[in-house]
């Protein structure tokens, strides 16, 4: 790539091992911003996604629930959570190979953009800490520093990623044929197809097959290869197991209280 071109990176399982939104949800739950049933809901939908993939109805339900949970909370509170999340979790989960790739592009003088469905606040933090150019992420509307429960525009996902990349290229005067893009999911294919140098990073089974068929390069930064036949990501498994365990503990406590109350009665 020549100096002045750009590279566009997904975040989850591309730069950072696992799902940043899962770790964010856990931290929000710890601070009382998410209820236990919200965590169970998101984990169940993550598990469904890893088994069957997404559709528009599925995405709309998850988006609506996520926006409802942050409505009324302050942007400052979310930024504080994101800062703590990066320091305690994300900085230790960056793939060394991805960090090297980011640094290579920066050394060449390329613009380096994060393009993620995760909240923009998380993307901006990662970009700032890694000295990247900027972020294209999902934007939650806020008024007077408080989240309204609505989105600004669309969720940064699928075709919307591709559209955002094209807008940046037009604004910055970039030749997309000279640009690169990196993603791990089949849902990143629209973004990958917008550039002249696409690359699948730690790809899911569908993206791996697509890349092999079309001749895209594939790079895997994971120490251990996952079981491709299962089609389940580590983050999804961890989220589902954690949610089920949390739910079972709550159910056990409720049953115990009911049993004790019955005996006392």
For residue 181, list its beta bridge partners. Answer: 8, 198
- Spatial neighbors of 12 by CB under 8 A, at least 6 apart, are 18, 19, 20, 21, 116, 118, 184, 235
Catalytic residue list contains 175: no
Active-site position among 12, 110, 184, 188 = 12
Residue 156: both structure tokens together: 């940064």
pTM: 0.72
Query: The CATH number of 6-264 is which of 3.40.50.300, 3.20.20.70, 3.50.30.30, 3.40.50.1000?
Result: 3.40.50.1000
- Per-residue pLDDT of 57-105, as tens digits, reads 655 566 665 666 666 667 777 777 777 777 777 788 899 999 999 999 9
Q: What is residue 59's predicted lDDT score, i.e. its pLDDT? A: 58
User: 3 Cβ partners below 8 Å, 6+ apart?
Assistant: 108, 109, 110
* Residue 263 pLDDT: 47
Token pair 């109350």 in the structure block, residue: 261
Q: Is 104 an active-site residue? A: no
- For residue 178, the 8-state DSSP code is G
Q: Would you kindly state where each structural domain of the chain is located, as residue ranges?
A: 6-264
Amino acid 122: pLDDT: 78
- CA 95 from chain centre, in angstroms, equals 15
Q: Residue 224 has what pLDDT?
A: 53
pLDDT tens sequence across 224-263: 544 443 444 444 444 444 444 444 444 444 444 544 454 4
Q: Tell me: the pLDDT tens digits for 186-228? A: 889 999 999 999 999 999 899 999 999 999 999 999 865 444 4
Label residue 60 left, alpha or beta by phi (over 0 means left) and psi (-120 to 50 means alpha).
alpha
Map tokens 């071109």 to a residue. Answer: 5
Q: DSSP 3-state assignment of 124?
A: helix
Separation in Å, CA 86 to CA 16, 93, 135: 11, 9, 16
């Amino acid at each position: 790539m020549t100096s002045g071109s750009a590279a566009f990176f997904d975040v989850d399982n591309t730069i950072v091992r696992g799902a940043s939104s899962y770790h964010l949800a856990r931290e929000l739950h710890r601070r009382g911003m998410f209820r236990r049933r919200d965590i169970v809901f998101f984990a169940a939908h993550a598990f469904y996604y890893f088994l069957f993939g997404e559709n528009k109805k599925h995405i709309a339900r998850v988006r609506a629930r996520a926006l409802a949970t942050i409505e009324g909370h302050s942007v400052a509170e979310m930024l504080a959570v994101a800062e703590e999340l990066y320091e305690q979790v994300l900085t230790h989960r960056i793939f060394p190979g991805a960090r090297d790739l980011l640094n290579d592009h920066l050394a060449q003088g390329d613009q380096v953009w994060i393009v993620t469905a995760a909240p923009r606040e998380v993307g901006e933090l990662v970009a700032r800490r890694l000295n990247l150019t900027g972020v294209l992420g999902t934007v939650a509307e806020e008024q007077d520093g408080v989240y309204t429960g609505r989105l600004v525009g669309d969720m940064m996902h699928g075709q919307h990623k591709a559209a955002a990349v094209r807008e940046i290229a037009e604004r910055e005067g970039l030749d997309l044929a000279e640009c690169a893009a990196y993603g791990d999911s089949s849902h990143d294919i629209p973004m990958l197809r917008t550039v002249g140098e696409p690359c699948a990073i730690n790809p899911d089974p569908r993206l791996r097959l697509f890349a092999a068929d079309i001749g895209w390069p594939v790079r895997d930064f994971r120490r251990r290869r996952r079981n491709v036949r299962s089609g389940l990501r580590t983050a999804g498994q961890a989220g589902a197991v954690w949610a089920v365990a949390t739910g079972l503990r709550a159910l056990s406590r409720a049953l115990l209280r009911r049993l004790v109350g019955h005996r006392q009665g």
